[in-house]
Amino acid sequence: MLPLKPRSYKLVQGRHYGTPTEIWGFRTAALRGRPLALARAFLRANRSLFQLEGVMPRLRTHHVIESLGACHVILQQRHLGLRIHRAYVTVHLDRKSRIFLAKNRAIPRRLLPLRVRFRLSEAAARRRALACLRLRAADARILGVDRLWFPLEDRVRAAFRVRVHRKRPRQEWLVYIDGVRGTVLSMRDNLKQASGTAWVFDPSPVAALGDWRPLVRNRQVVRPPDDAYTQVTLRDLADTGYLDGPHVSTRATPRRVKVPGGEFLFRRHQAGFVETMAYYHLDLAMRYLESIGYRGRRAIFDQPLLVNARGTKEDNAWYSPGLRRLTFGTGGVDDAEDAEVIIHEFGHALQDAICPDFGRSPEASAMGEGFGDYLAASFFALSKPARLRPTVMSWDGVLNRSVPPCVRRLDEPLTFESFDHAPGADEHENGKIWSATLWDIRRALGRAVADRIIIESHFQLDGFTTFARGARGILDADRNLHRGRHLGTLRRIFGARGIGPV
């Protein structure tokens, strides 16, 4: 394994440590050996380039993931027995074992403390976390407390990570407490959320009837007629009488329905309707992933996805990475009654399963929302009239004044110049730039190609990714899956949307 030659690659320099965070734009010769061994050999040969001297022995294998077109080796940095928060090194190889990308978030040895010191107790860390959130112990549940190293600019601090779950309003906070000073280093609501109200049909009564006007009277929704429903088959149900299967389980739903005969024949005004449709659409989405190649050892989900179909009275829906659970609200119209809301939220679960901690920067968060909209629109495109295809959640937005009504569109003439970088900017609005870009790709290449390269690209992203890196990931996925057949078209699409460098 030879070191990379100067000017044979492109480099992204990190801000805090003076080390390169990404090296890309190269492709090694085909190599022989197991991916993990090849990745470690590549890093040893290029440790000076990555500034990994003294760090390599502390890189532990976190995960080796096989996607359709590549293999992705993820190494986690540890120091004095504790993991370093978000300190990963990843190496990406195509199907011929040619390395084409490496990413580095390791902390240089010179910045690592010489010893571990905690003055704060775990119990005190729990109290500090609740105090900073202004919560009482009776109003919240501590899901876990971990000791770790927390990088803060050019310092690394011994810290506690406290995971706090709150029911009303629904929140799940990750609070990082300095283990010596007791100060709050970081706090974040960890729930992936999307506002919306809708009905669960296939995908909606608006699509089934081809018109929204018969469904609204005096600015109020009316009960959909019988021909708005579609009878479907629920596959691989357990013999418990509940909605439990190999891909999805509604056991997180309180007072869930039990039908020993398997006849889940509910209308929307009945309690079992939202559970049934959440199970059906999520199970179908999982089976679609399997149909395009993500099955067996390449399966993305290793256990059934949990669903709480009536988890809150709020008009909201979310995915919780901590609980690995989808939750749907009953405010307004039940959220789990809209198949496009369900698949949008499934998009967050899919990203978290491939790339944990996805969405930790404004651009990454916007990409998460845009991908969820794209996935919902792509999944149901052939089930909707042509004028509804570039829209999502038409029943959720049936009272909106847009024509046709919807929550968001995927065909707006947006470019990256319109990205709102202001603090607190709406990631759903920024996400429309990314969803429009992905929709352009689908229109140009078709669903079969677009869905695969877009999903495949996530395996080389991280929680702080950007639109430009997302574009690069899609280009690499096309190289790995289709030998770069669509690179020219993809570059034109990214260029027209102002996304680069690519």
Query: What are the residue ranges spanned by the domains of the chain?
Result: 10-111, 122-190, 194-496
**Which pLDDT score, from 0 to 100, does residue 193 have?**
62
Residues 374 and 439: beta-carbon distance below 8 Å: yes
- Kindly give, in sequence order, each residue whose CB lies less than 8 Å from that of residue 135, ignoring residues fewer than 6 positions away: 164, 166
Burial status of residue 244 (CB atoms within 10 A of its CB: 0-12, 13-18, 19 or more): middle
**Which pLDDT score, from 0 to 100, does residue 197 have?**
33
Tokens representing residue 303 in the block: 């256990």
The 10 Å Cβ neighbour count of residue 47 is 15
Residues 345 and 372: beta-carbon distance below 8 Å: yes
Q: Which residues pair with 73 in a beta bridge?
A: 64, 91
- Kindly give, in sequence order, each residue whose CB lies less than 8 Å from that of residue 180, ignoring residues fewer than 6 positions away: 117, 118, 119, 120, 157, 158
Cα–Cα distance measured from residue 123 to residue 141, given in angstroms and rounded to the nearest whole number = 14
**Which pLDDT score, from 0 to 100, does residue 1 have?**
65
- Kindly give, in sequence order, each residue whose CB lies less than 8 Å from that of residue 292, ignoring residues fewer than 6 positions away: 68, 448, 451, 452, 455
All residue ranges of the chain with pLDDT < 70 are: 1, 168-169, 192-200, 502
pTM above 0.75, yes or no: yes
Q: What are the CA-CA distances from residue 244 to residues 283, 315, 324 (Å)?
A: 10, 26, 16
Cis peptide, bond prior to residue 203, ω within 30 of zero: yes
**Which pLDDT score, from 0 to 100, does residue 331 have?**
76
List, in sequence order, the alpha helices (H) in 292-426: 339-354, 362-380
Tokens representing residue 284 in the block: 């179908």
CATH class, range 122-190: alpha beta
Residues 450 and 382: beta-carbon distance below 8 Å: no
Q: Which helix (H) or strand (E) holds 86?
A: strand 82-94
**Which pLDDT score, from 0 to 100, does residue 199 have?**
41
Cα–Cα distance measured from residue 147 to residue 164, given in angstroms and rounded to the nearest whole number = 15
pLDDT tens across 354-375, in order? 998 899 899 999 999 999 999 9
Tokens representing residue 323 in the block: 């609980």
Burial status of residue 122 (CB atoms within 10 A of its CB: 0-12, 13-18, 19 or more): middle
Residue at 256: amino acid letter? R
Q: What is the dotted CATH code of the domain comprising 194-496?
A: 1.10.390.10
**119 half-sphere exposure, CB direction, 13 A CA radius:** 6
**Which pLDDT score, from 0 to 100, does residue 154 have?**
78
Burial status of residue 274 (CB atoms within 10 A of its CB: 0-12, 13-18, 19 or more): buried
The 10 Å Cβ neighbour count of residue 416 is 18
Tell me the Ramachandran region of residue 81: left when phi exceeds 0, alpha when psi lies from -120 to 50, beta otherwise: left
